[in-house]
Amino acid sequence: MKSIPYGRQHITQADIDAVVEVLRADYLTQGPKIAEFEQAFANYIGSRYAVAVANGTAALHLCTLALGVQPGNKVITTPITFAASANCVRYAGGDVVFADIEPETYLLDIKKVEELLNNAPEGTYKGIIPVDFAGRSVDLEAFRKLADKYNCWIIEDACHAPGGYFIDSNEKKQFCGNSQFADLAIFSFHPVKHIAAGEGGMITTNDEKLYQKLLTLRTHGILKDVELFQNSPQVAYGNNHEAENTNTATYPGWYYEMQELGFNYRLTDFQAALGNEQLKRADEGLKRRREIAQTYDEAFKGKSFIKGQSGVVDGHAYHLYVIEVNNRKELYEHLRANNIFVQIHYVPVHLMPYYRQFGWKNGDLPAAERYYNRCISLPMYPTLTDEEQQYVIQKINECYE
């Protein structure tokens, strides 16, 4: 049996042809493929706007800047996520506060979040970053009501969940990242994600002001659109040109303004071309992920060694399929010895050495820590064959016989 990883990209000839076409064209970056991918992604997710960026971490960072996170601002997130979900707050100088997870869903526990908000002076917390962990959607309608009560913004980390959804109070599907309830949402195009572009990320929003802010911040804070220039003294066109006021000036073609401190967080055109081709078959991949989840669910139903699992959940996008077991290390090593390269998602962020310096310690978030001690992510990707999945199931059962 060949090696079976926990996740794997799927590159087709159409993907390769799309990238080669861009490599032979005029633009490798800042070209037409960016806008094409952004529009297609916004349509797929159901948001008004989409902004393509260098990666998911860049997306999170730009979101905190666009929302005005300042030193001393407190933001709540989950410990069961990749570190970037928390780090983005630190990049902007803010303070991260972790709330525990729901043991059944592995998602940020809204009751624990409300306890933090309710027990703090008004205005202590500025925002909440819930994560659609493993592909299971957070109930953002409930989080929106809570956030509005305490005057907080929401960034939805939907990196695991393009195509995922939850059912709102009106029995309507609310797709992850559609920004009906979150101020901003972010996605990643890392190779093991649903849509692979090598690297890359996307921010979605329905707020035009935030959208314009993000466009500026991703490109060094520089503007070239005359209509967006500030009414401030203009930089001289040449050595002998007197400064003019921007509301009366006529601008030459080369003129631009850096209006704030931004970053080079752009996506390339060939990455956008790859992402766009992958997006065209996203629903096909999502269907296959759900079939794989159904097989795992049936295989482990009633097994005494299973202490928890992702299960079959309406709207789940299944970036990961997680089971919880005792003797996790033994299973991990047994599977790897049999060329099944499972993974652990994640070491709780609050227990990382960096965050321990702020006072976080073992025992602070018991549900998250219990989950971490038992969790293991099984192979989950659209090209996983039935034969390979049955081999994975066989080897798991074998470990507990």
Per-residue pLDDT at 143 exceeds 50: yes
Inter-helix orientation angle 110-118/140-149, to 10°? 0
pLDDT at 239: 47
29 residue type, one letter? T
Phi and psi torsions of 400, nearest 5°:
-110, 5
Residues forming a β-bridge with 375: 324
The DSSP 8-state label assigned to residue 22 in this structure reads: H
Residues 6+ apart with CB under 8 A from 281: 12
Give the mean model confidence (pLDDT) for residues 48-57: 98
Per-residue pLDDT at 248 exceeds 70: no
Per-residue pLDDT at 228 exceeds 90: no
Concatenate the DSSP letters of all residues of 243-310 into one string.
Answer: P-BTTT----TT--EE-S---B-PPBHHHHHHHHHHHHTHHHHHHHHHHHHHHHHHHHTT-TTEEEE-
Convert the pLDDT of each residue in 318-369 to its tens digit. 999 999 999 999 999 999 999 999 999 999 999 999 999 999 999 999 999 9
pLDDT at 241: 46
Contact 114, 100 (CB under 8 A): no
pLDDT at 246: 46
Strand order in the sheet with 375-378: 306-309, 321-325, 375-378
HSE, side-chain direction, 13 A CA sphere, residue 151: 6
> What is the distance between the alpha carbons of residues 215 and 394, in angstroms, rounded to a whole number?
50
**Could you tell me the two tokens for 383?**
């090209």
Per-residue pLDDT at 240 exceeds 60: no
Looking at the chain, the whole-number percentage of residues with pLDDT higher than 90 is 90
Convert the pLDDT of each residue in 164-180 to its tens digit. 999 999 999 999 999 99
> What is the distance between the alpha carbons of residues 342 and 328, in angstroms, rounded to a whole number?
11
Contact 278, 197 (CB under 8 A): yes
Q: Mean of the per-residue pLDDT values for the chain? A: 94
Convert the pLDDT of each residue in 91-103 to its tens digit. 999 999 999 999 9
Per-residue pLDDT at 42 exceeds 90: yes
**Could you tell me the two tokens for 375?**
């969790």
Least trusted range by pLDDT, from 120-129, 138-147, 234-243, 380-389: 234-243
pLDDT at 255: 85
Phi and psi torsions of 310, nearest 5°:
-60, -40
> What is the distance between the alpha carbons of residues 309 and 312, in angstroms, rounded to a whole number?
9
> What is the distance between the alpha carbons of residues 48 and 46, in angstroms, rounded to a whole number?
7
The DSSP 8-state label assigned to residue 101 in this structure reads: B
pLDDT at 226: 64
> What confidence category does residue 225 fall into, taking pLDDT thresholds of 50, 70 and 90?
confident
Convert the pLDDT of each residue in 58-104 to its tens digit. 999 999 999 999 999 999 999 999 999 999 999 999 999 999 999 99
Which residue in 226, 164, 177, 190 sits closest to 53, CA to CA? 190
Domains parsed from the chain with CATH numbers? 4-220+263-280 (3.40.640.10), 282-400 (3.90.1150.10)
The per-type count for the chain, helices as H runs and strands as E runs, is 13, 16
> Global pTM?
0.94
Convert the pLDDT of each residue in 281-296 to its tens digit. 999 999 999 999 999 9
Least trusted range by pLDDT, from 102-106, 139-143, 245-249, 309-313: 245-249
Give the mean model confidence (pLDDT) for residues 45-60: 98
Phi and psi torsions of 90, nearest 5°:
-65, -35
Element containing residue 376 per DSSP (H, E): strand 375-378
